[in-house]
Amino acid sequence: MTVHPSTQLDVAGDLLALLNDSTTEPRPDTQLDALTLAVAADLPVLLWGEPGIGKTAALTQLAESLELPLTTVIASVHEPSDFSGLPVIGDDPATQGVPMAPPDWAVRLVRAGRGLLFLDELSTAPPAVQAALLRVVLERRVGALRLPEGVRIVAAANPRASAADGWELSPPLANRFVHLRWIHDHDVVVRGLGGTWPRATLPRLAPENLDEAVAFARRAVCTLLAARPALVHQLPTTETRRGGAWPSPRSWEMTIRLIAFATAARVGRDVLSQLIRGTVGDGAGFELLTSIDRMDLPDPEDLLANPDGVELPARGDQRQAVLDGVVAAVRKRPERARWAAAWTILVAAAETGAPDLVVVPATTLATLRRDDWTIPAEIERLAGVVSVSRSADRAAAVVVEVGR
């Protein structure tokens, strides 16, 4: 019996449908959580990753999970006019002007009222096309059309070294994105190839936390920039770094929005770290994260006023910051009672946590003593800790010297 070729194609289609069929499951995924939070915050996101890493597949799955129609535009195969609009001459251009007609994909997005605009292969777009994309990314304008508020923008790019005829992103375009490094997770890939991928879900924002989240985000950024004014705007010196995340008033405004959303959704620190560093860069991002950690620490003046029964943070870095702050406060206003209170706090720290964290603050505090100040009894309780630590340091130095 002869089987008609078209029948075989139908069977092949059934097999392809089975291969394409997959499901999703709730699964912790830091980079996916960072992406969905930035999408919820209505900020343009740029995924950086090597070819074949799964950026396009992730965006397809994201659109399906969020029930958003996906519109993919390959930036490198379009002309600047495809984003800025084509001039259309009307009956009386001297009176009515010359409108800029948008492309069909923009019209479809406007008609739908919502969707996910995926700008793929962004690093292969020439400078003229990148310039035309500026208004699309920031102002959501394509020709004479303005994209609806329900449209979110996500782009993908390969590093220049692995991009076909790649270009570095221009600083104005790069500074409009939240940059996320997209890497593969072995377990996620294996389970996904088996037919089950992580489910992308929008963050659950607590309505009662919105005001507090906005206030916290603004205070976090403004506290850092007040102390470090040089971070307000730092254009990198190299072309490659200018094509990534770096601090500017625009990117700090984006950072405030991301912190507010992350706070209202109570996301983990890893997600917040990716978003902050992806907006203002690693250097400024780490400084902000450190500043945020210290915002939740007790005020050194409050500790000095009530040193008995003090409660110190459990995390070592936070505890160290508190002790350093206490010593700095005494140095700023050296008084006998404050100096004695600081020793009480250091003793509490040594007895409730890692004693080695007390060594440097204790040594510094000892140098602040005035001649007429009585040495408090607490110092004796710390003498052993300082002595043991110094002996360990000397022993380590000998080991290093012998090994050379």
| Mean pLDDT, contiguous 10-residue spans, the chain (404 residues) | 70 90 84 93 93 82 87 86 73 61 87 93 88 89 88 89 71 94 86 84 89 94 90 92 94 97 93 96 94 83 88 84 90 92 90 85 88 78 57 40 46
Six-digit token string for 360: 């440097």
Six-digit token string for 19: 């291969």
Q: Is 63 exposed, middle or buried (0-12, 13-18, 19+ CB in 10 A)?
A: buried
CA distances for 262 relative to 181, 268, 400, angstroms: 18, 8, 45
**CA 209, CA 192: separation in Å to the nearest integer?**
35
The answer for residues whose C-beta is within 8 angstroms of residue 150's C-beta and 6 or more apart is 113, 114, 115
**pLDDT the model gives residue 89:** 64
Q: How many CB atoms lie within 10 A of CB 21?
A: 8
The answer for residues whose C-beta is within 8 angstroms of residue 334's C-beta and 6 or more apart is 368, 370
**pLDDT the model gives residue 202:** 84
**CA 11, CA 321: separation in Å to the nearest integer?**
67
**CA 13, CA 250: separation in Å to the nearest integer?**
49
Q: What is the dihedral of CA 123, 128, 133, 134, to 10 degrees?
A: 110
User: First-to-last CA distance in the chain?
Assistant: 82
Residue from 68, 39, 59, 65 nearest 257 by CA: 39
**CA 28, CA 188: separation in Å to the nearest integer?**
10
What residue type is 381 in one-letter code? R
**CA 122, CA 156: separation in Å to the nearest integer?**
6
The answer for residues whose C-beta is within 8 angstroms of residue 259's C-beta and 6 or more apart is 213, 216, 217, 220, 221, 272, 276, 292
Residue 196 main-chain phi, psi, to 5 deg: -130, 115
**pLDDT the model gives residue 168:** 84
**CA 249, CA 185: separation in Å to the nearest integer?**
34
**pLDDT the model gives residue 265:** 93
**pLDDT the model gives residue 402:** 40
H or E element that contains 198: strand 196-198
**pLDDT the model gives residue 92:** 59
CA distances for 114 relative to 79, 149, 252, angstroms: 24, 7, 27
**CA 35, CA 404: separation in Å to the nearest integer?**
48
**pLDDT the model gives residue 6:** 67
**pLDDT the model gives residue 318:** 81
For 277, what's the count of Cα atoms within 13 Å in the CB-facing half-sphere?
A: 16
**pLDDT the model gives residue 102:** 82
